[in-house]
Amino acid sequence: MAQLYADVAGYVSDKPPRVRRNLLALCVGGVIFAALSFWMAIASKGFLEADACTHYMFARHALAEPSYLVNVWGRPLCTCMYAIPAAIGRVLGVRAMSLLLALGMGVVTYRVARKQGYRMPALAAILLFAQPLFFVHSFSELTEIPFAAVAVLALWAYQSRQFLAMTLLVSITPSGRPEGFFLIALAALALMGHRRWYYLFILPVPLLLWSYLGWLTWGSPHDLPWYRWLQHNWPYAAQSAYGSGPWYHFIAQLPVLVSPLIFPGLVLGIVLALRAALRPMGGRLAFFADHRARVEGVIVGVPLTILVVHSYLWARGLMASNGELRYLLCVAPLWALLCARGWEWVWERFRLPAPFLIAGLAATTPIYANRYYQVVPFKVYNEDLMGRAVADWYRSTPGLASDYPKVMASLPAIYFALDVSQSDKRHGETWGRDNVAKKRDGVILIWDVNALTNASRDMIVSQDEVDAAGWLWIGNVVYGDKWCNVYLSPRTADGKPSEAGKYRPPGDVTGG
Tell me how many degrees the CA angle 492-502-478 measures, rounded to the nearest 5.
Answer: 95
Distances (CA, A) of 310 to 185, 237, 322, 324: 17, 15, 10, 9
Query: Crossing angle for the helix pair 23-43 and 355-362, nearest 10 degrees?
Result: 20
* 501 — pLDDT class (breaks 50, 70, 90): confident
- Whether 155 contacts 112, CB under 8 Å: yes
| Most confident stretch, 223-237, 296-310, 376-390 | 296-310
Average pLDDT, the chain: 91
Quote the pLDDT of residue 13.
42
d(CA 47, CA 438): 32
pLDDT at 511 exceeding the cut of 60: no
**Total length of the chain:** 512
Confidence at 4, pLDDT banded by 50, 70, 90: very low
What pLDDT is attached to residue 454?
80
Higher pLDDT, 74 or 511: 74
Identify the H or E element spanning 108.
helix 76-115
- Dihedral pair phi/psi, residue 326, rounded to 5°: -65, -15
Q: Report the C-alpha gap between 239 and 318 in whole angstroms.
A: 5
CA distance 113 to 40: 29
Q: How far is CA 1 from the centre of its chain?
A: 41
Q: Tell me, what's the pLDDT at 360?
A: 83
- Arithmetic mean of pLDDT, 82-109: 98
Contact 119, 20 (CB under 8 A): yes
**pLDDT band at residue 3 under the 50/70/90 scheme:** very low
Beta-bridge mates of residue 409: 446
For 20-58, how does the pLDDT look when each residue is reduced to its tens digit (9 = 90+)? Answer: 678 999 999 999 999 999 999 999 999 998 899 999 999
Do the Cβ atoms of 150 and 176 come closer than 8 Å? yes
Give CA angle at 413 (412, 419), nearest 5°: 95
Angle 205-217/163-172 helices, nearest 10 degrees?
30
**What is the phi/psi pair of residue 63, to 5°?**
-70, -35
Whole-number pLDDT of residue 417: 94
Overall average pLDDT of the 77-83 stretch: 97
Question: What's the gap between Cα 316 and its chain centre?
Answer: 22
The neighbour count for residue 96, using CB atoms within 10 Å, is 18
| 404 φ, ψ (degrees, to nearest 5) | -130, 75
208-217, 273-282, 354-363, 463-472: range with lowest mean pLDDT = 354-363
Binned at pLDDT 50, 70 and 90, residue 271 comes out as very high
Cα–Cα distance list, 201 to 171, 175, 231 (Å) = 10, 17, 19
Distance CA 409, CA 431 (A): 6
Rg from Cα positions in the chain: 25
Structure confidence at residue 374 as a pLDDT band (50, 70, 90): confident
Q: What is the dihedral of CA 283, 289, 293, 295, to 10 degrees?
A: 150
Of the candidates 508, 433, 509, 500, which has an alpha carbon nearest to the alpha carbon of residue 473? 500
Using CA atoms, how far residue 245 sits from 17, 35, 220, 321, 338, in Å, is 46, 37, 41, 10, 27
Residue ranges covered by each domain of the chain? 23-372, 382-502
- What is the structure's pLDDT at 508? 66
What DSSP assignment string belongs to 66-103?
GGGGG-TTT-HHHHHHHHHHHHHHHHHHHHHHHHHHHH
The answer to whether residue 14 scores a pLDDT higher than 60 is: no
Strands 280-281 and 406-409: unpaired
In angstroms, the CA 456 to CA 71 distance is 14
What DSSP designation does 496 have? P
Phi and psi for 493 in degrees, rounded to 5?
-60, -25
Residue 239 bridge partners (DSSP): 318
User: pLDDT, tens digit, for every residue of 295-330?
Assistant: 999 999 999 999 999 999 999 988 777 889 999 999
pLDDT for 239 equals 67
Q: Is 220 left (phi over 0), alpha (psi -120 to 50) or beta?
A: left
% of residues, the chain, pLDDT over 90: 75
Q: Is the pLDDT of residue 122 over 80?
A: yes
Q: Cα 448 vs. chain centroid, distance in angstroms?
A: 24
Reduce the DSSP state of residue 399 to 3 states and report it.
coil
